[in-house]
Amino acid sequence: MIRPILIHPDPRLKKPCEAVTDVTPEVRTLALDMLETMYDAPGVGLAAPQVGVMSRVIVMDCIKDGPPEPMVLLNPRVVWSSEDVNIYEEGCLSIPDQYAEVKRPASVTVEWMDLEGETQERTFTGLWATCVQHEIDHLDGKLFIDYLGPLKRQMITRKMEKLKRERARMA
Ligand code: NI
């Protein structure tokens, strides 16, 4: 089921999320819904607070060409970051049509729990590295615009407030 994506500014996008303790049917349904919502948008990553669920769940698929590689990460955390950095033009499904360059570690090792309750670890590079860090930030109430200067951030936030007013009028 496709779930509505919250648009910034929203208090739920600024709050830290709770750890997943058990892989319940609700968690599985949430993960599948999030994948469906992400592919539909379309996007390469989505975090649970973006659909209003305050749980440490993210989904990703950064494959542009070729067979899809859907990933579900519960309680993901960065256990190692490279010193070398990458600059990517980032966007966010909660901040539609706004993009800005963000500097982050070029590769990161992330540990997480999968839907079987098993611990997994993988080192991500390239777009995957940027995406996983962006999504983990969401779980801590942090958005990519928080890396920008205050003027740029304010400008984007005003545009989003306007977009939300327009959408509310049309609803
Ligand atoms: Ni995002």
- For ligand 1, the distance from its centroid to the CA atom of residue 124, given in whole angstroms, is 17
- For ligand 1, the distance from its centroid to the CA atom of residue 30, given in whole angstroms, is 17
How much is the pLDDT for 164? 95
- Indicate the pTM of the whole model: 0.97
Q: What number does CATH give the domain 11-170?
A: 3.90.45.10
- Indicate whether 65 pLDDT > 90: no
Query: What is d(CA 28, CA 135) in angstroms, rounded to the nearest whole number?
Result: 18
- Indicate whether 119 pLDDT > 90: yes
- Per DSSP, the three-state class of 72 is strand
Environment of ion ligand 1 (residues, CB < 5 A): 92
- For ligand 1, the distance from its centroid to the CA atom of residue 28, given in whole angstroms, is 21
- For ligand 1, the distance from its centroid to the CA atom of residue 12, given in whole angstroms, is 13
Contacts of 35-39 with CB under 8 Å at 24 or more apart are 35/59, 35/61, 35/70, 35/72, 36/1, 36/2, 37/2, 37/3, 37/5, 38/93, 39/68
Per-residue confidence band for 170, with pLDDT thresholds at 50, 70 and 90 = confident
Choice among 18, 135, 161, 166 that is catalytic: 135
- For ligand 1, the distance from its centroid to the CA atom of residue 171, given in whole angstroms, is 24
- For ligand 1, the distance from its centroid to the CA atom of residue 92, given in whole angstroms, is 4
Query: What is d(CA 118, CA 132) in angstroms, rounded to the nearest whole number?
Result: 19
**H/E run at residue 46:** strand 45-47
Domain ranges in the chain are 11-170
16-53 per-position pLDDT tens digit: 999 999 999 999 999 999 999 999 999 999 999 999 99
131-168 per-position pLDDT tens digit: 999 999 999 999 999 999 999 999 999 999 999 999 99
135 carries an active-site annotation: yes
